[in-house]
Amino acid sequence: MFTGIIEEVGTIRRRKGCDLSVTAKLVLDDVQLGDSIAINGACMTVVRFTRDEFLVQVSPESYARTTLGDLKAGDEVNLERAMALGDRFGGHVVQGHVDAVGRVEHVQQQGDFSLWTFSAPEEVSKYLVPKGSITINGISLTVVDPQKNTFDVAIIPKTLQETTLRSMRPGDSINLEADIFSKHVLHYMTQVGSEGLTMEMLTRHGFANPDRG
């Protein structure tokens, strides 16, 4: 599990077949084989590492369903280690499972802040609510004014400076992960809509236990 608070920006060193190597510093401080590191929001497993580089192996499915398939040597990527038990929880619950690829549509300066408009396919946009959470390239952000297939996000200067957003432009693709709680709520509400709110439905989803009275 991750929180969407980017620890550092790394750089792609090489990509060959399923092997993807990334230069980094902070996320390698206590790295072990088998550790999880989110690369632009996609959870990957460390299979080899050195003092300044780690290697992951990306499946064809992950390449096809995320922006990892577009990466080349020299590209910057957002990096976050999996959350350790007892860590502060600064963002929101992020699984590192990319739901879909969206796109940067527009950037508007608003004083020190900037308002970014992103497009999102239906498998993500249906979960977006005002002031809800969204993960964009691994960054935990707050949704502003969600529409049918677009939504806005206000970006503070620090986020812009310390993530790959600093080099992104309209037309660039981005990894999207919808809020896990929104997914569960919509799933349960869909079940209620189709079968009604019954004791059997509540029991099946863990909200009731008839045996306990």
Residue 63 within any structural domain of the chain? yes
Q: Are residues 193 and 143 in the same domain?
A: no
Helix (H, G, I), strand (E, B) or coil at 148: coil
Burial of 140 (0-12, 13-18, 19+ CB in 10 A): buried
Place of tokens 């929001």: 41
CATH number at residue 68: 2.40.30.20
**150 and 131 in one domain?**
yes
Which domain covers residue 202, as residue numbers?
A: 185-213
Q: How many domains does the chain have?
A: 3
Residue pLDDT, tens place only, 49-98: 999 999 999 999 999 999 999 999 999 999 999 987 667 677 788 889 99
What is the DSSP pairing of strand 150-155 with strand 42-49?
unpaired
The DSSP code sequence of 120-147 is --HHHHTT--TT-EEEETTEEEE-BS--
Tens of pLDDT, residue by residue over 91-128, are: 788 889 999 999 999 999 998 899 999 999 999 999 89
Check: CB of residue 177 under 8 Å from CB of residue 95: yes
Is there a domain that residue 89 lies in?
no
Q: Is residue 49 part of a domain?
A: yes
CA distance 165 to 136: 9
Structure pTM? 0.85
Q: Tell me, yes or no, whether 141 lies in a domain.
A: yes
Residue 51 in domain:
yes
